[in-house]
Amino acid sequence: MASQKPPRLGFSLPPLADEGDATSITSFVEIQKELAKRQPQLNAYLIVLQGSNVGAMIKVDGPELTLGRSSQATVRIEDDGVSRRHARILRLGDQVMIEDLNSANGTIVNGEKSNRQVLKDGDKIRIGSTTILKFTYHDNLDESFQQQMYEAAIRDGLTKAYNKKFLLDRLETEFAYAKRHKTPLALIMYDLDHFKKLNDTFGHIAGDLALQTVSRITLQLIRAEDIFARYGGEEFSILCRGVSGAAAGTLAERVRASISGTHMDWQGTRLPVSASMGVAALPEVNAGSGLELIGAADGALYESKRSGRNRVTICLPGNTTPG
C-alpha cells in the first residue's frame, strides 16, 4: 500500500538545513508570525440597533466621523433629541473613542452619560430619543454578510425597491423633521391599473416583469435622496424631502408618462401597463402624522382611478381631500 503524503500547510516553511544543523527548522514563533499575517483585517463599525435604518452598518474608516442632524454630519441621524453636531468618533492609533460635542441631551454609552471614552467591542451608544448604535469590530467577510442581511431586510426581493416597513420607518422620521423645521415633504402613491387582469391574461411571470420594469423606470427618474418603496402588491410610493406638492405632481406625471410610454414586451405582445397616481404634501395638506399623509395620498390615488385611471391627482391644500 502506498504511503500517504503528509498534509500540506497553507504557507511555505524555509528548507531544512544540513543534518548537522537540523535544529534550525523554522521556530514556532516564526510560524505564529506567518499565521498572524493571514488573520482577517478587523475594521471598526457602528451598527444601528434601534431607530431609523435599523441594521445599517457604518464603517469607521477615517480619523474622525461626526454624528448629528446636520447635513454636514458624516452620519446623519434624524431623531428627536439629536443635536446638529451631537458626537464624534475618533481613531487614535489602535483605539476608537467617542466624544460628546456639547449636545443638548448627551451621549449615553452602556447606560451612562459620557463626555469622552474609549469604545470596546459590543458597547451600546444611545443618542436622541430612539437611536441606539452598537460599536463592534468585523472583518471584511463579516461586513459583506452584514450588508447582505441589511439589504434583505429593507428591500423588496422582486423589484429591489425598499419595502413597506422601511418606508413607514423613514416616513415618521421625515414627517417629524418636516414639522419641526417647517419644510416641505411630499408623498406619491401609485399603483398599476387593471393589474389583476394583466396577471390573469398573461400570467404571473408577465406581471412580475411589469413590476420590475416600473421599478426600474421610477429609479431612473427620482433623486438619490428620495425613498422609493413597494408598498404592497402593485402599489408603490415615493417619499420626497423638501419637495412641494406641485413639484411632486410634476415628478408623478413624469413617472406616469414614462410607464405608459414604455414598450413592455411579453412573448411578442406589448403588455398594457399604466399607473394611477396620488400626491399629498406638507404643508399644503393638514396631516397630523405620517399615516395621515399616506391616507391623503391614497385618497388622491383613488380619485385618479375613479376619474378614469392613468392620471395624477394632487390633494387639495389645507385638508386631506384630493382635487
Task: Say what the pLDDT of residue 119 is.
Answer: 96
Choosing from 19, 34, 172, 234, the catalytic residue is 234
Task: Say what the pLDDT of residue 142 is.
Answer: 63
High-pLDDT (> 70) share of the chain, %: 83
Task: Say what the pLDDT of residue 32 is.
Answer: 56
Beta-bridge partners for 93:
none
CA–CA distance, 250 with 217 (Å, rounded to integer): 15
Where would I find the H helices in the chain? 28-37, 140-154, 164-181, 195-202, 204-221, 245-261, 290-306
Task: Say what the pLDDT of residue 214 is.
Answer: 98
In the block, residue with C-alpha cell 463599525: 45
| Mean pLDDT of the region 315-322 | 66
Task: Say what the pLDDT of residue 130 is.
Answer: 84
| pLDDT tens, position by position, 236-294 | 999 999 999 999 999 999 999 999 999 999 999 999 999 999 999 999 999 999 999 99
Q: Which CB contacts under 8 angstroms, 24+ apart, belong to 162-167?
A: 162/227, 162/228, 162/229, 162/230, 163/229, 163/230, 164/229, 164/230, 164/231, 164/232, 166/227, 166/229, 167/227, 167/229, 167/231, 167/237, 167/239
Strand 75-76 versus strand 87-92 pairing type: unpaired
145 or 73: whose pLDDT is higher?
Answer: 73
pLDDT bin (cut points 50, 70, 90) of residue 28 is low
CA–CA distance, 323 with 303 (Å, rounded to integer): 8
Lowest mean pLDDT among 31-45, 125-139, 191-205: 31-45
Q: Give me Rg for the CA atoms of the chain.
A: 27
Task: Judge whether residue 17 has pLDDT over 90.
Answer: no
Task: Say what the pLDDT of residue 94 is.
Answer: 84
CA–CA distance, 186 with 231 (Å, rounded to integer): 16
CA–CA distance, 242 with 255 (Å, rounded to integer): 19
Strand 124-127 versus strand 265-266 pairing type: unpaired
Task: Judge whether residue 14 has pLDDT over 50.
Answer: no
Which of the 8 DSSP states describes residue 7? P
CA 290 to each of CA 161, 187, 232, 282: distance values in angstroms, whole numbers, following the listed order: 20, 10, 17, 10
Residue 18 grid coordinates: 544540513
Lowest mean pLDDT among 12-21, 22-31, 90-99, 277-286: 12-21
Q: Which of 125-129, 218-222, 315-319 has the highest mean pLDDT?
A: 218-222
High-pLDDT (> 90) share of the chain, %: 61
Lowest mean pLDDT among 29-38, 135-144, 162-171: 29-38
CA 89 to each of CA 46, 63, 263: distance values in angstroms, whole numbers, following the listed order: 10, 8, 50
Lowest mean pLDDT among 13-27, 79-93, 130-144: 13-27
Task: Judge whether residue 211 has pLDDT over 90.
Answer: yes
| pLDDT tens, position by position, 137-165 | 877 656 666 667 777 778 899 999 999 99
* Distance from chain centroid for Cα 31: 43
Q: CA torsion angle for 208, 214, 219, 221 (degrees, to 10)?
A: 170
Task: Say what the pLDDT of residue 53 is.
Answer: 73
| 112 has catalytic annotation | no
| pLDDT tens, position by position, 284-316 | 999 999 999 999 999 999 999 999 999 999 998
pLDDT bin (cut points 50, 70, 90) of residue 10 is very low
| Mean pLDDT of the region 23-39 | 53
| Mean pLDDT of the region 87-113 | 93
pLDDT bin (cut points 50, 70, 90) of residue 21 is very low
Residue 40 grid coordinates: 482577517
Mean residue pLDDT of the chain comes to 85
Estimate the crossing angle of helix 195-202 against helix 204-221, to 10 degrees.
130
Task: Say what the pLDDT of residue 1 is.
Answer: 47
Task: Judge whether residue 115 has pLDDT over 90.
Answer: yes
